[in-house]
Structure 1
Amino acid sequence: MKYTNVTNIKYFVITGFPGLSPEYYEAVSFLLLLVFLAIVIGNGFVLVVIICERSLHKPTYLIFFHLAMSDIVFGTVTLPEIIARYWWNDMISSFTACFAQMYFVHSLGAIHSLLLMMMALDRFVAIWFPFRYPLLFTNRTISIACSLCWVLTFIRMMGIVLHASTLPYCNLNTIMHCYCDHISITRLGCGENVAYVKNVALANAMVTLLVPLTFIIFSYLSVIIAVLRMSVTERRHKVLSTCAPQLFITCLYYVPRCFVYLANNLGLHFSLVAHIIIAMMYSLIPTVVNPIIYCFKTKDIKKALMQRLKNRKINTGIK
């Protein structure tokens, strides 16, 4: 079949939150700016702590490092544009810029999902095969695995974005969201291939989310079974305290997404505003909360921070 591209539009209009009164624009932009600063400063702090503290140069914390880095990039890709929309009423995004944002939004989501799977695998091997763990999980192997997560996902998502770009975009150019994503963009496409492009993207999204999620559930169930078999209370508490932060991070990422997916398939439809708010919440809340979990719920990081504070107090007292 011969394909003819009849795209007429040159830019997209980002609406943000539909129906929001102009009197709230400054408040919303200021709130989003605070969220952006919290993401950058919080996750940046985690990166600096892991880099500077030699005791944290371990496989588990290398995964944390990549998670924090992906959170910073995601916040940088999505928030400045919506802040500008409400602060300076800048609603225009060029055709190329919108597709670039879609590419990074979905790539970073897939990378985050793979990193969470690696985190679950790390705990699974550490608890079920503790003697083989030092051989299988080294800094080098984890660095290579994390790098592959980034590189292979960026390559794979390029195909999804290029596939969407083959659609003709005729007249509609208003994106009812706070940023460009695949659903919002392809909804504006015209022609007979729109449904096919959407189905390919949906299949890719399900594989990206459900394959890692299946392994994560299996991994943590195995960990729970292993913990229940332990007879020493102190050891059981240690294992749970190690896994709890990682399990909480995983739940923050997956539970809202699964809820929205199941609700849509069960016929529970939300208003457009509610859908956008929920999407923003499950996209941004984990990126804000993760640094708190890393620093205050992870024993080694908390210990390293406390030791740094004690050393600083001692040095100040000596001076």
Structure 2
Amino acid sequence: MAYAVVLGEALIDLLETEHEGRPVYRQVIGGAPLNVATGIARLAGPGHAEFGGALGDDVLAGRIEAFLSDAGVGTRAVARVAAPTALAVATFDGAEPDFRFYGEPPSYALYDDVPRDLVDRAAVLYCGSISLLRAPFVDAARAAWAAGGPLRLFDPNVRPRLLPDEAAWERQRALVTEFAARADLVKLSSVDAEGLYGEGPAEVARRLHALGTPVVVVTAGARGALVSTGDEQSFVPAPVVEAVDATGAGDSVMAALAYRLMIEGRPAGHAGWRNYAEFALSVAALVCERVGGAVAMPTLDDLSRRWAE
């Protein structure tokens, strides 16, 4: 059975909402890589995604592990560590979340060993997000990234709140350079592109191609996404929906791309990549109509019902 290995953080999102006129926080299991793993499993079915990361030693970590199992995500690469579960507190400007992170050291950073045999047999390997900012996780991810075999998918998922000065931004750019240079696909947002390089999607795509990345997808929220395959670029519009929560939308794009690559392989030519992106944006649009990250990830049946036309 083809499967994907997804490396990164799992944590608890506390999402600001309102109850009886007062602000309250809704607890949601999250972390961008966990969202990706869940999205793959929802599309492909149980057994097609393995999550690799560290979980803490508290009740919240137990809930995360149970959630992964219930979602059909494998936990053979999960480690438990002596730390409380990291938290991400999100406030909103419209449907877009603004995250602040709590926990020192964060539980997700303490992951130090990716099972090599699991990676070697995988069809797809995903890495990215805030876990790469910390050791020992980044060293474990480097070792997995250097392994041959799987298609490598990278998403920097930049969080400016964790980059307090220019030195931190330079370290983030160095990580992007390192991982993008060996990636088969890089997916990032237009906000990531602007923050990293002060450039638009087309220019950043060309920059990443120069590093060695053959395919770049730059998402632009409700507008859609740029698909760049080196010599050819095109913009794919997103389906028009009334978004209620964009948490996990970008992660669902990566999950959908990983799913198509795992099941169908690398497409031939720009048109094939554009088709993959159109599918991924249909997944993200449905996620935006739902509340809450990982729990919003759809199945193929959900997509068929929503986009029957």
User: Which interval holds the TM-score relative to the shorter structure?
Assistant: under 0.3
Greater gyration radius:
1
* TM-score (normalizing by structure 1): 0.26
TM-score with structure 2 length normalisation?
Answer: 0.27
Greater percentage in strand: 2
